[in-house]
Amino acid sequence: MDSQDNKRKWKNRDLVSSLEFALTGILTAIKEERNMRKHAVTALVVVLAGFAFQVSRIEWLFLLMSIFLVVAFEIINSAIENVVDLASHYHFSMLAKKAKDMAAGAVLVVSLLAAVIGALIFLPRIWDILF
């Protein structure tokens, strides 16, 4: 089999196939990754809070961007972890550890940004209700 045949074998033939593979990846992440499920629950709580507090359009923009960034980074982190495990054959390696730690660190950075955005939007409203 020449390289052209091999490329065709793995290449998405149409948009529907591409979308199907992408959705399968998202569902796999939700099904197999505990942190992804935690992010999904947190996202649901944030969306419900957004409706309850009637946040503005610009606040929705920041909230939704934060949610999608955290989810996207978690999917990328999971993909990196899987590739590292595959490449290292599940044997410990400092390079594998570094790669996985850096990917997890990226998720942490984006999650901290999302938490700050959520706090800036929701804490004043919660404060007003409590006091």
- Residues marked active site are found at 74
Q: Is 74 annotated as a binding residue?
A: yes
One DSSP character per residue, 37-89 reads HHHHHHHHHHHHHHHHTT--HHHHHHHHHHHHHHHHHHHHHHHHHHHHHHHHT
Q: Is 20 annotated as a binding residue?
A: no
Q: Is 81 annotated as a binding residue?
A: yes
Q: Is 33 annotated as a binding residue?
A: yes
Q: Is 59 annotated as a binding residue?
A: no
* DSSP state at residue 14: S
Q: Please report, in range form, the residues annotated as the binding site for ATP.
A: 33, 81, 100-101
Q: Please report, in range form, the residues annotated as the binding site for a divalent metal cation.
A: 33, 81
Q: Please report, in range form, the residues annotated as the binding site for substrate.
A: 74
